[in-house]
Amino acid sequence: MESILTLLSAGILEALEPLNFGMILLGCTIGLLVGAMPGLGSVNGVAILLPITFLVPPTAAIIFLAAIYYGAMYGGAISSITLGIPGASTAVATVFDGRPLAQAGKADKALTAAAIASFIGGTISIVLFTLFAPPLAAFALKFGPPEEFALMVLAFATFIGLGGDDIPKTIFSILIGLVLATVGLDIISGQPRLIFGDISGFLHGVNFLVLAIGIYGIGEMLWTLETTKGEVTVHKVKMSIKAMIDNFRDVKSYIGTTTLGSTIGYFVGTLPAAGATPASLMSYGLAKTFSKDPESFGKGNISGVAAPEAANNAASTGSMLPMITLGIPGSPTTAILLGGMIIWGLRPGPLLFTEHPDFVWGLIGSLYIANFVAVVINIAFIPIFVRVLTLPFTILAPTIYILCIVGGYAPTQTMHDVWLMFLFGVVGYLLRKLNYPVAPAVLAIVLGPLAERSLRQSLLASQGDMFTFVERPISGVCIFLALVLVSYPLIKNFRARRSAKAASQS
Amino acid sequence: MRNTLKKYTKAILPAVVAISTAFGVTGTAQADWSPKKPIELIIMAGAGGGADQIARLLQGLIEKKDLSTRPFIPINKPGGSGAEALRYMQDKAGDDHTVLVTLNSFYTTPIIQEGIGVDVTKFTPIGRMALDNFLLWVNVDQAGITDVDSYVAAVKAAGKGWKVGGTGSGQEDSILTAMMENHFGYEVTYIPFPGGGTVAKNLVGNHIDSSVNNPAEQNEFYRAGNTKPLVQFTAERLPAYPDIPTAKELGHNLEYYMQRSINGPPGMSADAQAWYINLFGELFNSEEWQTFCVEDGLACEEYLSGDALGAYHVTEIEKHKNLIESVGAAAITGE
């Protein structure tokens, strides 16, 4: 323990050296902007920046890449809240409540909450990383296919209450998402599925960002066009020091969900199969399930912004663990980081911690610093970000359309996905008109492929025996927790009805 | 926000462009062609596996040595044992800004999955970077398994309950697994994972019983004492594993290699092909690449390029057709 503290403080001191600190400042700022721009957050944006890392020593370069990675996690929330387009897949859950808050003129509140929650999530996860990295790395190894599948079941369970009261419509929405998730090449046999004859654009499946940007970006615009009937509207945004201080006071109201979200996020992030997107969705689902006021979620509840943001930041720190100890990157940006390590002769693996402690702890030390820097930069920029909302709709709407197209095109670089995105936009708008919840479909398309793969791997391994999921301790616990989560809203509902009945009888 | 964003992109982009061009123009653009936009480096396997590590190392070396005026951007397309990547390349016919890092599924996937409509002999061969090797790995917890004989005995005792992890039906590891089933006369359950790194992780976590990983994928776990190799499927012992016997030494005629080469889509222009052959040749001869080969148990003696690589592909495809016929496609796909 003592040696860890020595190494860590050495790492932090190293991160504070002028060049390294400069790289953190630059990296966080670039990351914030890359994360905020839909599509730029993809591999492209970071790969273009790779040459910069060869101008500085390896440590500074890794710190720079880590700072970009960190800044991007903060940045994702910005376009989710102000424009209603998720800047990255990890920030989709932030749209659910961030956008309604912005429309109600509370964008500054939502952005502050996102920044603070990200900071809390980052801090909790870095501390957990510092204290428990080796045992958690060992624990992550215990996660085989059955455990992964059980975790996915748990993730679905956290979303059971998300669709509101209309259970059939929620199930319908989940099923649409699951069907879309099966499009593309079969993960086991490699045969094409649901490619509509032979449309090659479907071979790579339906990209989750295409669905999310279509439903939330395009669908939302269509909805706004209808409700405003083309009237030019301008959101009022008031910013004052007093309002900012009030925003900070809000922390009290979401500190609980944030802490829970951070812990879940970190834990889910350390599992190589999962990552920040499922983590943020799970955290959102749990925040809603355990909220005193679940009805307000999706309509602008501040906890609905804080919970996913805390979780995705925590998960991004968590996913450093499988990258360092197993060499399995959890995201395109960690993959770049991995590439950087290989070039500098550092091989990820269980021995990296013991053979290159200076590197590992230097990296962790820089995360501490980057977390502080990112939150300060983010909050300083909030007054500028909310200005976006003061733009007249006639300027904002075309800009959003363009950003949607860029965001839909960037991940796979095919026009096929752009057309698909427009289609999802129209469908999303119609579903909204008919009062279908769309969030469950988004969840299903993220978790569907993970769940399908792990289910089929488990059943192959167990020779078709379903009991493998309950016999193994970790997956058994996950399945049990999932059952509890599913029944919790039902019991709550039942109790509420009974007490209402009792009240009416007396 | 848009305005600030613009301001920043305005400030950053020229700087990035300036940096990359300043170094790029001194690169190796001897051919008449040079890239006009970022080049997609398609990887037909998942993140963290052998092909992925190689692609990312090459990307970094290209940047480090300023060999290209435009960046190489690695993109993983692991779906359907590489079918997704192959089809993507086929659809990119005539494109000069997309290259593919191959595995042997470059040969096997089009043979097994006829439906994808890909003819790899039409692809543009660029350069073979290495021949990769295979070893048989088990977790060190399998104390009773110390050599091939005890391994075969354990597998036979377990029957279909023995789980072999791999990267997908039709991938090279599934071929080698089928070759072993055929040779030793046992049957196993083959479980596909999205990449060699994930296979290695699942072996360390005891979720599978054995694997035929490449050295690069298992080396760190071997050094950490998590896994152990039993036998190598090479002609001679690798310098990195001097104490592990080859299958041939033990009288088992099992030898299998995997080429790791760079190929363009069908109909790439000759000038672009020449530029890539030159660029990857320079990388092949670099000290960094040769060191990587030695450390990671790859064979990198000869740089096959252009037509010579194309001819090599043709003979390998024939070899794989025969292999697949002799073990039966069903043994590989598990159907």
Q: What is the pLDDT of residues B109-138, one digit of tens each?
A: 888 877 778 899 999 999 999 999 999 999
Token pair of B126 as six digits: 């660029």
**How confident is the model at residue B23, as a pLDDT?**
43
Residues of chain A in contact with residue B81, where contact means CB-CB under 8 angstroms, are 190
**B101 touching chain A per CB within 8 A:** no
DSSP class of residue B245 equals P
**How confident is the model at residue A338, as a pLDDT?**
78
**How confident is the model at residue A163, as a pLDDT?**
55
**How confident is the model at residue B316, as a pLDDT?**
94
d(CA A503, CA B299): 81
B window 230-289, beta carbon within 8 A of A: none
| pLDDT (tens digit per residue) in B144-191 | 999 999 999 999 999 889 999 998 877 888 889 999 999 999 999 999
Ranges of residues in chain A with a pLDDT under 70 are: 1-2, 39-48, 50, 161-165, 230-239, 273-274, 330-333, 489, 505-506
- A33 Cα to chain B: minimum distance (Å): 7
Report the side by side order of strands in the sheet with B227-232.
Answer: B189-192, B163-166, B210-211, B135-139, B227-232
- A471 Cα to chain B: minimum distance (Å): 14
SS3 content of chain A, % helix, strand, coil (to 5): 75, 0, 20
Residues of chain B in contact with residue A272, where contact means CB-CB under 8 angstroms, are 198, 201
**How confident is the model at residue B34, as a pLDDT?**
92
Residues of chain A in contact with residue B207, where contact means CB-CB under 8 angstroms, are 144-145, 461
Are A400 and A85 within 8 A, CB to CB? yes
Token pair of A260 as six digits: 């829970």
Question: Do A50 and B79 lie within an 8 Å CB cutoff?
Answer: no
What is the pLDDT confidence band of residue B39, given thresholds at 50, 70 and 90? very high
d(CA B147, CA B156): 14
Residue type, A243: A
- A323 Cα to chain B: minimum distance (Å): 9
**How confident is the model at residue A331, as a pLDDT?**
66
d(CA A307, CA B335): 45
**How confident is the model at residue B19, as a pLDDT?**
45
Question: Do A190 and B113 lie within an 8 Å CB cutoff?
Answer: yes
Report the candidate in A70, A88, A80 with the shortest Cα–Cα distance to residue A28: A70
Nearest CA in chain B to A335: B47
| pLDDT (tens digit per residue) in B202-229 | 999 999 999 999 998 898 899 999 999 9
| In chain A, where the domains are located | 2-495
**Averaged pLDDT for residues B245-250:** 95
Question: Do B220 and A49 lie within an 8 Å CB cutoff?
Answer: no
What is the pLDDT confidence band of residue B4, given thresholds at 50, 70 and 90? very low
State how far the alpha carbon of A131 is from the alpha carbons of A3, A16, B76, in Å. Answer: 12, 22, 33
B window 130-189, beta carbon within 8 A of A: 160-161, 163, 168-170, 189
What is the pLDDT confidence band of residue B246, given thresholds at 50, 70 and 90? very high
| pLDDT (tens digit per residue) in A9-41 | 888 888 888 998 999 999 898 888 888 877 665
Question: Do A188 and B169 lie within an 8 Å CB cutoff?
Answer: yes
Token pair of A489 as six digits: 């809203």
Residues of chain B in contact with residue A328, where contact means CB-CB under 8 angstroms, are 47-48, 195, 197-198, 201
Of A50, A186, A348, the CB nearest to B63: A50
Residue type, A157: A
Number of A/B CB contacts below 8 angstroms equals 187
Residues of chain A in contact with residue B201, where contact means CB-CB under 8 angstroms, are 141, 272, 322, 326, 328
d(CA B4, CA B83): 43
Of A44, A343, A460, the CB nearest to B73: A44
Mind listing the domains of chain B with CATH numbers? 2-132+258-326 (3.40.190.150), 135-256 (3.40.190.10)
State how far the alpha carbon of B70 is from the alpha carbons of B24, B32, B40, B243, B308, in Å. Answer: 8, 16, 10, 44, 27
**How confident is the model at residue A9, as a pLDDT?**
87
* Contacts by A248-253, CB closer than 8 A, 24 or more apart: A248/A112, A248/A116, A250/A109, A250/A112, A250/A113, A250/A302, A251/A113, A251/A116, A253/A302, A253/A303
Question: Do A384 and B168 lie within an 8 Å CB cutoff?
Answer: no
SS3 state of residue B269: coil
**Averaged pLDDT for residues B230-257:** 93
d(CA B230, CA B252): 13
**Averaged pLDDT for residues B84-102:** 92
